[in-house]
A and B are shown apart, each in its own frame.
Chain A
Amino acid sequence: MRSELSLLRRVLAGLCLFLTASLQAQSPAVLVELNGQQQGYFQQPRLAEVLLAASSDSRVYWPTAQLYKLDPKQLVAAEQLRGAVMEQLRLLSIHWQAEPQVAANLMQLRSQLANWRLAQPLFLALDPDLSRTRAEFNPRLDAGMYLLQPKRRPGFITLTGLGGDQFVEHKAGTLAYQYLTQAYGIDHRGVDDIYWLRAGPTPVKLPVASWNRNLQQLPPGSLLFVPVPAKWLPEPWQDLNQQLLQLLQSRVYK
């Protein structure tokens, strides 16, 4: 009787293992969110295969398309950073309570930051024509969840920082600091450097002070981070801009 029970247990355990394996085999290795819908791939796809799913819309502007990894485990660090930055902004606004406008700006940034969707951006050249003709631009995607954002050509530059997002029309020949002047006025709110994001994995620092300005032009759809002016950052908060920058790299723009 005991041996029969043992056999039955083994059979049931084997059956459970088989069912688990079957279910795992049936779930997609890669899930891609595209235009609000999920696209599943049972075998890890090459990048071109994923991009081609969006290429039927000829209005897609591939230079500003973004691909993000959405795996929850990888978002933990970004969420922890968000929490830390929000707390720093809260404390900094208390520090500046004697300057209500400064304190209000900091709290406004804090509330905006709370609503950002975060994900891990992948800095890959996204263009189905390029990826399907050049193997080096057509990597196989790791298993996991992704967000693909193909967009239409944005005719503007986005500046983000205190005061939220500002949009300035892109014009040929315009230099980075000139977009800043259009958005924030000639004194640039006392900012000496801005950062060009999404041009690669590392933000590009662009000096904008009148005596040291960089003559970089920007493609349409560029994202600029305008740091919190240094005069508003006492000793304990001097890393705040770097942390904001790091968080912005993970921000998903709609």
Chain B
Amino acid sequence: MRSCCSTLTSARWLLLACLPLLSQCSGTTKSYQNTLSYVLFPAPDHQLNRVELAKRPYDTLYAKVGDLPQAVLVLAYDEHGQQKWLSADRALLILQQGRLVKTTGFSLDLVFSARQGIDPLSKPLAQIQVGDHFERVLDWSAAQHTNQLQKLSIISIEAAPLELLQQQFDAVLVQEQVTFADQSTAINQFWFERRSGRLLQSQQQAAAFAPVMKLTHISSALKLLPVEVQSAF
């Protein structure tokens, strides 16, 4: 997985931060500026084409939070087993095995999550089984939403072809039921590419009061395509 920096160097970060200010726009800069403009003037569900994706120096994630337009995030840090995805307005989504474990920059942030038991998503795809379960405790940035216990259990594993980048992927859909602290439930969905076991897309809810988040690992999808298809318009 490419990341813009596995351990941050301030020079690199400064460069990233200054990209929109540079008058000599490179392709990367334009891409970054475009991302920014989509935040300032949201267009419905922005998507990059294969060429734009291939040119981007950093891995890319699409994130759609609730009914808001889809945002384009870049992998800012890949460290301690976590992938930290940065939006143009500098919000951070932190994922572990594809599961949301922390956020920064939101009005209500997920500040901490502690797992009790093995997260089935940490296992190879072939070893994930219906009935696998674990619990986790979440703390949100509002005091009334701290120490929130949730129980998660795999309820189905089935073939579910997924179309991304105008290509059909042979995917396996893993569904889990999550029971929140208030005993309400939701279904989280994770689409893995069958052969590689790579996570392509997820639809997950971290709390009963939190919006559903649809995350598309579009760079992972691109890398799974044959080289000639990756560069084709």
Contacts and interface: CB of A to CB of B under 8 A. Distances in A.
A203 interface: no
Contacts of B114: 153
Interface string B85-107: 01000101010000000101100
Interface in A115-142: 127, 129-130, 132-135
Contacts of A130: 92, 104-105
Interface residues of A, number: 28
B147 A170 contact: yes
A129 B143 contact: no
Contacts of A1: none
A133 B144 contact: no
Interface in A43-87: 46, 48-49, 52, 55-56, 58, 61-63
A27 interface: no
Contacts of B17: 135
Given A134-B105, A172-B147, A219-B139, A61 B92 contact: no
Interface of B: 8, 10, 13, 17, 76-77, 80-81, 84, 86, 90, 92, 94, 102, 104-105, 111-112, 114, 139, 141, 143-144, 146-149, 181
Given A63-B141, A129-B84, 18 more contacts: A52-B8, A62-B112, A63-B112, A129-B77, A129-B92, A129-B94, A130-B104, A130-B105, A133-B86, A134-B105, A153-B114, A153-B139, A171-B147, A172-B146, A172-B149, A219-B139, A220-B146, A220-B147
8 contacts: A49-B10, A58-B80, A58-B81, A62-B112, A129-B94, A134-B90, A217-B146, A220-B139
